[in-house]
Amino acid sequence: MEFFLISMLNSLSYGLLLFMLSSGLTIIFSMMGVLNFAHASFYMIGAYFAYQISTWIGFWPALAVAPLLVGSVGMAVERYGLRTVHKYGHVAELLFTFGLAYLFEEAVHLIWGRSSVPYAVPPSLEGAAFTLFSTDYPIYRVFMMAVSVSMLIGIYLTLTRSRIGLVIQAALTHPQSVETLGHNVPRVFMLVFGGGSALAGLAGVIGGNAFITEPGMAAAVGPIVFVVVVVGGMGSLAGAFLASLLIGVLQTFSVALDYSLVDLFARLGITIGPDTPLAAVWNLTISQTAPVLPYLLMVLMLIFRPKGIMGTREG
């Protein structure tokens, strides 16, 4: 029970972090048709900016400044890069963001070196928030959840209650009509791209010190975010939310479970020795398969329900 509750809380905080990344990606994708390969790179530079700023003026200013900086980098990328390649089609845009991901990673190597940086949780957020049975639950995890949830409510309110949110929603489905009505759709695109990058940057600020801030963090989280978007359904925010939580649960629980098919067979009275055919497969524990599970889920989803959990369109 204790294990279950703690793991559930951990999945929730990880899932919410994933949603901060996937929500930006989803909004950008459904609005512009651009699959932003460099999205996880914005997450990474968010963490690095936060580290750099927190060494100068502390964590709290960094929490506000770093996402804004990442957002302005995102806007510059859209304005001077994506808009130029837009005429060559979506594949060219995807290639552009792919090249950008390389460039960001190398720039991080250049500036901060190849090993991880000591970006730590601020002292005011260290310690336990509450004790569940015998396990202390860290304050920082609670803080992460609070930031994610308030961000979530923020996006929801912006998209549904504000004027710019309504324009964005309209531009999602009918960009031409919105343009005819006198709205500057390219500028809306730029703002959305910047906003999505800023969200990824914020996820980096709070995720970088919870996990680890290193040049490989973008490559580690990027494919998972893509899995979330595919499983949730391309372009569906609600789907991305469900899929983020699902992947969060899947990854958190699977790393902790040490059961293999051998144990199952043993209960059924079948013994598996080292000479049994495919012994390597039967001996795998769930925790060993943990890195594969999200991708397996994606492949199964594509076979049985190609439009994803909540998706409305196929591909």
- Judged by CB under 8 A, which of 165, 175, 186, 306 binds another protein? 306
DSSP letter assigned to residue 213: B
Q: Which two tokens stand for residue 151?
A: 């961000």
Nearest-approach distance from CB 257 to another protein, in angstroms: 15
- Judged by CB under 8 A, which of 100, 151, 168, 203 binds another protein? 100
Contacts with another protein in 162-191 (CB under 8 A)? none
Q: Which lies closer to another protein via its Cβ, residue 1 or residue 110?
A: 110
Residue 260, beta-bridge partner list: 285
8 Å CB contact between 282 and 216: no
Q: Which two tokens stand for residue 46?
A: 């968010």
- Judged by CB under 8 A, which of 35, 191, 246, 272 binds another protein? 35
Is 98 a binding residue for another protein by CB under 8 A? The answer is yes
**DSSP H or E segment with residue 306:** none
Is 298 a binding residue for another protein by CB under 8 A? The answer is yes
Is 92 a binding residue for another protein by CB under 8 A? The answer is yes
Is 288 a binding residue for another protein by CB under 8 A? The answer is yes
Residue 213, beta-bridge partner list: 117
Residues contacting 79, CB < 8 A, separation 6+: 190
Closest CA to 85 of 155, 139, 148, 32: 32
- Chain centre distance of CA 239: 14
Q: What residues make contact with another protein under the rule CB under 8 A?
A: 33, 35, 81, 84-85, 88, 90-92, 94-96, 98-100, 102-103, 106-107, 109-113, 219, 223, 226-227, 229-230, 234, 280, 284, 288-289, 291-292, 295-296, 298-299, 302-303, 306, 314-315
